[in-house]
């Protein structure tokens, strides 16, 4: 027979698991339950950063901040002097309607849409309508935005991605499905974001994954890495069809 303490422990553990599950369910399907005009700032941000159509990857490397000549001998102080440089990449399927709706909603929130005049709102809605009406029947567009906590890395990343071209990336960047490895069609770069355009896959299974593949360059202590980020088509469904 279970003791009272064990029963209470199991009850608390079960409630904790339930509490952990509830926010995921609530946040995870808001885009299917209400129009984008009603998304909160937090919901909009979550769709752009971590959702079926977007994810954020973090790359890191430990770097010693010791600069004195006898640094190798100062092992006793090394742990206190280390920093943790990181580079993150935010991937978004820009050809997916939910991402573009989140972009519009983000613009609404940042421009204080609710306080606009009727004329300003009408102009905004006309522009947003054209943006959302764009179709991508033959291509898939993926944008990648980088961030870093090291100022010098920012300029290195900009220099590297600005120097890239379709020819340079043709053997490094792919959109992968179960049956196809699709090569890059076009590449563009602006500020801290670069964009890949691929031909749309001819056929995909509703329960398979689709992955974006590219190579992160060596940036100081953060070495070169092949990024192969999968996305679940099952989770990317809208109205029963994969939306990407």
Tell me what percent of the chain is helix, strand and coil, each rounded to the nearest 5. Answer: 40, 30, 30
Q: Any idea where the domains of the chain sit in the sequence? A: 1-33, 34-242
Angstrom distance (rounded) from CA 41 to CA 139: 29
Angstrom distance (rounded) from CA 36 to CA 47: 11
What tokens were used for 105?
Answer: 């909603």
In order of 16, 45, 88, 207, 239, the CA distances from 22 in angstroms are 10, 19, 28, 24, 23
Pairing of strands 139-148, 193-199: antiparallel
Q: CATH assignment of 34-242? A: 2.60.40.1930
Tens of each residue's pLDDT in the chain, 244 residues = 445 444 434 433 433 333 333 333 334 578 888 999 999 999 999 999 999 999 999 998 765 444 334 444 444 433 343 478 999 999 999 999 999 999 999 999 999 998 999 999 999 999 999 999 999 999 999 999 999 999 999 999 999 999 999 999 999 999 999 999 999 999 999 999 999 999 999 988 888 999 999 999 999 999 999 999 999 999 998 888 888 9
Instruction: Write out pLDDT tens, residues 45-78.
Output: 999 999 999 999 999 876 544 433 444 444 443 3
Tokens 């909160």 sit at which residue? 40
Q: List beta partners, residue 55.
A: 91
Q: Is there a contact between 131 and 100 (Cβ–Cβ < 8 Å)?
A: yes
Neighbours of 73 (CB within 10 A): 9
Instruction: Write out pLDDT tens, residues 167-202.
Output: 999 999 999 999 999 999 999 999 999 999 999 999
Q: At what angle do helices 97-110 and 118-133 cross, to 10 degrees?
A: 160
């Amino acid at each position: 027979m279970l003791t009272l303490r064990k029963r209470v422990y199991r009850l608390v553990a079960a409630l904790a698991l339930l509490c952990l599950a509830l926010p995921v369910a609530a946040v995870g399907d808001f885009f299917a339950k209400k129009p984008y005009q009603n998304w909160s700032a937090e919901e909009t941000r979550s769709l752009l950063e971590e959702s079926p159509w977007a994810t954020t990857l973090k790359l890191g490397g430990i770097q010693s901040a010791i600069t004195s000549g006898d640094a190798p001998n100062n092992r006793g102080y090394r742990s206190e002097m280390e920093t943790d440089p990181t580079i993150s990449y935010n991937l978004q399927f820009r050809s997916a309607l939910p991402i573009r709706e989140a972009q519009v909603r983000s613009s609404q929130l940042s421009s204080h849409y609710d306080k606009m005049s009727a004329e300003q709102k009408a102009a905004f809605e006309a522009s947003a309508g054209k943006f959302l009406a764009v179709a991508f029947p033959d291509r898939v567009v993926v944008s990648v935005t980088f961030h870093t906590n090291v100022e010098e890395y920012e300029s290195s990343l900009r220099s590297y991605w600005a120097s890239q071209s379709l020819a340079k990336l043709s053997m490094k960047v792919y959109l992968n499905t179960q049956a196809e490895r699709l090569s890059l069609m076009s590449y563009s770069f602006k500020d801290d974001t670069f964009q890949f355009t691929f031909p749309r896959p001819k056929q995909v299974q509703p329960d398979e994954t689709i992955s974006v593949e590219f190579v992160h360059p060596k940036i100081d202590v953060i070495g070169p890495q092949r990024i192969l980020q999968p996305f679940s088509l099952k989770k990317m469904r809208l109205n029963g069809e994969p939306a990407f």
